[in-house]
Amino acid sequence: MLSRASCRLQAINIHYRNAALRLFSSQVHANSIDLTANDFERNYETALPYSKIPGPSAFTFLKNALPAGKLFGKPFDEIIKVYRREYGDLFKFPSLFGSMEFVATHKPEDFQTVFRTEGQWPERMGLKTMIHYRTKVRPDIFGKRSGLANAQGKEWGEFRSTVNPVMMQPRNTMIYIPKVDAVAVDFVKRIQRIRDAKTKEVPENFENELNKWALEAVAVIALDAHLGLLDDNYNKRSAKLIQGAKDSFRLMLELEFKPSLWRFISTPKFKKMIEALDMVTDISCEIIEEARERFSNKRESSKNHDESVLEKLLQIDPILAKLMAIDMLFGGIDTTSSAVTSLLYLLAKNPEKQEILRQEIMTKLPTKDSLLTAENMKHFPYLRACLKESLRILPTVGGNIRTVPQNIILQGYQIPKGTAVSMGTSILLREDEHFPNAKKYEPERWLKKDGVPAPAKSAHPYIFLPFGFGPRMCVGKRFAEMEIETLVTRIIRNFQVEWHHPDLKFKFISVNVPADNLLFTFKDI
Ligand code: HEM
């Protein structure tokens, strides 16, 4: 029987889904085309056969990826770029040693077709390595479940309906601002302690500091837990969690998308991935168990509305609650810290934009210790535009993926039901054709002025989707945006951020992460 809390959440969820549907249909009005299964069925037989889609053969793909091959050791986004130059906007990646064959497209009209036909329970191919680990290696923890990101069909639909009201409602996000702000204030103090006394430049391991901030921030939301990562003698257990999460993402991606025999034998990389995943799972479970004990010791009268995500979900489904909490700790590190990195870097490289942002922040935070509230966060449109613009120029993820639930046609080719389609947006986001003066950091393009719509609105509506699209979009979107905006507000209120080194490069390791040391200078305002 459903508990009262669960009924309330289900009702909120129905409301949420309706609101989300309205939002999506208003988002896509501009260039929308009406697509029905019938349109494709009518023309499917006359379209070019799937087998004719260009792309490297399994042999060429393997040859290129081996030592001495032209793509050996190249990151995944680089491989995609090379094949796009060779084969055009639509090409096929072959299956190798059991890996999944997929089609890659770089046409916004195709993204629209794929998203508009994705159905009630959109499918995104799960990570086989993660599914294997959770269901075969650690059923003691996960039972038969592989987590929200890897679940499909009805199981995914039920999981998502349960977590949406807790994680995706703006109201439920804003209540965590004071806690997340306290973490941001600690981070500002940490910058003051670790930067060079004279030059004000931070040490070369600053990326690790940002990772620690990200884990600390997501842990207060997920578990109401203070991990102590920003203290000088920081907690080594949580530091291991960060390293484990980074290693396992890197290894999973390599095993999934590069030629590997892991499906048949336990390769050295596979063993390392299991070790890293074990580290993440075991430490997360310990932290979650501690949080659970704290909640059970909490007196009824002291319970309040800003309970952590875990606490709220525990009242509905304890196993799902634990799974979601692990995934929040796991998925909430590299993603948000990478987005903060690109935003700070672009503000450092564009001091005039940084100054406009600071003026906006000063209107609501006249002193450095003014309170940051849900109310004054509503009045930072330039901050929001700065974040969008940095996600455009230096996106955190390279694109989106769907497994199509019906036969469709892309660029004149048959795409049979069940095909995985990858939609590469990161290259398009930096093309003048879609965003005039695309290389320029121009937050203003996201703002409407004197009743004139924001210039970025004229781009195809399916290109800029940094958190994905539709019912399967990122479930951590609202928390991520709030965490990033809170931290950047505190940093820009306290420091002039500068960059005095050659241009920063990024590399793609499941998300785009900096390839060089983050040698930011933070001068006091
Ligand atoms: C800047 C930060 C982030 C970016 C850019 C980002 C981006 C994305 C994208 C593009 C997807 C795929 C969406 C789709 O297929 O339509 C996704 C899914 C997901 N994200 Fe995020 N994410 C971020 C932060 C987070 C955080 C902080 C969490 C955890 C609290 C999180 C948890 C997830 C989960 C669990 C999914 C799978 C959702 C599902 O399959 O239903 N993400 N994210």
Say if ligand 1 is within 6 A of residue 166 CB.
no
The predicted structure's pLDDT at residue 300: 59
pLDDT digits (tens, 9 = 90+) for 273-288: 999 999 999 999 999 9
Mean pLDDT of the chain, nearest integer? 88
Closest ligand 1 atom to 332 CA:
27
49 occurs within a structural domain: yes
Say if ligand 1 is within 6 A of residue 480 CB.
yes
The predicted structure's pLDDT at residue 123: 97
Q: Which domain holds residue 219?
A: 37-524
**CA distances in angstroms from 82 to 88, 89, 364, 452, 508, listed in the order given:** 10, 11, 47, 39, 15
27 occurs within a structural domain: no
Least confident of 8-12, 212-216, 247-251, 417-421: 8-12
The predicted structure's pLDDT at residue 302: 57
pLDDT digits (tens, 9 = 90+) for 448-475: 999 999 999 999 999 999 999 999 999 9
CA angle 118, 395, 381 (to 5 degrees): 95
Say if ligand 1 is within 6 A of residue 339 CB.
yes
Are 198 and 523 spatial neighbours (Cβ–Cβ below 8 Å)? no
73 occurs within a structural domain: yes
Least confident of 48-62, 263-277, 297-311: 297-311
Gap from CA of 326 to ligand 1 centroid (Å) = 14
32 occurs within a structural domain: no
7 occurs within a structural domain: no
pLDDT digits (tens, 9 = 90+) for 46-66: 999 999 999 999 888 888 888
The predicted structure's pLDDT at residue 433: 95
Which of 176, 206, 175, 179 shows the shortest CA–CA distance to 190?
A: 206
Closest ligand 1 atom to 401 CA:
15
Number of compact structural domains in the chain? 1
pLDDT digits (tens, 9 = 90+) for 15-41: 444 444 333 333 433 344 455 666 787
Closest ligand 1 atom to 151 CA:
40
The predicted structure's pLDDT at residue 266: 87
Say if ligand 1 is within 6 A of residue 471 CB.
no
Which residues have a Cβ under 8 Å from the Cβ of 14 and sit 6 or more positions away?
none
201 occurs within a structural domain: yes
The predicted structure's pLDDT at residue 35: 59
Say if ligand 1 is within 6 A of residue 397 CB.
yes
17 occurs within a structural domain: no
**CA distances in angstroms from 473 to 219, 419, 468, listed in the order given:** 21, 19, 5
Which of 148, 106, 107 shows the shortest CA–CA distance to 124?
A: 148
Q: What is the mean pLDDT of residues 200-218?
A: 96
Which of 91, 69, 196 shows the shortest CA–CA distance to 410?
A: 91
CATH label of the domain that carries residue 174: 1.10.630.10
Instruction: Report the distance separating Cα 391 and Cα 364, nearest Å.
Output: 25
Closest ligand 1 atom to 324 CA:
35
51 occurs within a structural domain: yes
Gap from CA of 323 to ligand 1 centroid (Å) = 15
Gap from CA of 465 to ligand 1 centroid (Å) = 11
Least confident of 217-221, 289-293, 452-456, 482-486: 289-293
Q: Which of 15-29, 166-180, 246-260 has the highest mean pLDDT?
A: 166-180
Gap from CA of 328 to ligand 1 centroid (Å) = 9
Query: To test ligand 1's pocket by mutation, which of 467, 481, 483, 488 has the most ligand atoms within 8 angstroms of CB?
Result: 467
pLDDT digits (tens, 9 = 90+) for 112-150: 999 999 999 999 988 889 999 999 999 998 888 889 999
Residue 299 binned pLDDT confidence (cut-offs 50, 70, 90)? low
Gap from CA of 397 to ligand 1 centroid (Å) = 9
**Is pLDDT of 336 > 50?**
yes
Torsion of CA 82, 84, 85, 91, to 10 degrees: 120
